[in-house]
Chain A
Amino acid sequence: MAEKLLEIKNLKTSFRIRDEYHAAVDDVTLTVNKNEVLAIVGESGCGKSALAFSIMGLHTRAKIEGNILFKGEDIANVAPSKLNKLRGKNMGMIFQDPLTALNPLMKIGDQIGEAILLHNNTLSKSQRREKVVNLLQKVGIPRPEHVFEQYPHELSGGMRQRVVIATAIANEPELLIADEPTTALDVTIQSQILDLIKDLKDDMDSGIVLITHDLGVVAEMADRVAVMYAGQIVEVGDVLTLFEEPLHPYTRSLFNSIPNAHGTQDKLHVIQGIVPALQNLPRSGCRFAPRIPWIDEAAHEEQPILHEVKPGHFVRCTCYKHFKFPEETKEEQHHGVS
Chain B
Amino acid sequence: MRVPLTWLKDYVDIDDLDLEALAKVMTMVGLEVEEIRMVGLPMPSGEKHEFKYTGFSWPEDKFVVAQVDEVMPHPNADRLVLCRLNDGNEEIIVLTGAPNLYEYKGKGALEKPLKVAYAREGSTLYDGHQPGRKLTTLKRMKIRGVESFSMICSEKELGISDAHEGVIILDEDAPTGMPLVDYMGDAVFDVDTLPNMVRDASVLGMAREIAAATGKELKHPNAAFEMTGPSIKGKAAIEINDLELNPRFVLGLIGGIQIQPSPYWVRRRLNLAGMRPINCIVDATNYVMLELGEPLHAFDYDILLERAADETPTIITRTAKDGEKLTTLDGVEHALDREMELVTDTSGPLSLAGVMGGEESEVNSNTKSVLLEGASWNFINIRKTVSKLKINSEAAYRFSRGVHPALAELGVRLCLKRMHEWGGGQVAKGLIDNYPAPPEDPVVELSTEWVNNSLGTDISAQEIADILIALEFECEVEGDIITAKTPPHRLDIHTGIIGRADLLEEISRIYGFDKIPSQRLNQPLPPQQVDPSLGMEENLKDLLVNLGLQELIAYRMTSPEREARRFPPDFEVPDQQYIEIQNPITVERRVMRRSILSSMLEILEYNSSLGQRLALFEIGPVFHPVEGQQLPEEKMMLSIGLTGLREKPSWQGSEPENMDFYDLKGVVEGMMQGLHIADVGYQASEYPSFHPGKTAKILIGDLEIGVMGEVHPLVKANYEMEEPPVYAAEIELKPLLEAGSILFDVEAVPTYPPVLEDLAVVVNENVTAAEVEAVMRKGGGDYLAKVQLFDIYRGKQLGEGKKSLAFSLTYIAPDHTLTDKEVSKLRNKIIHLLDQELDAKLRS
Q: Is the A/B pair a real complex?
A: no
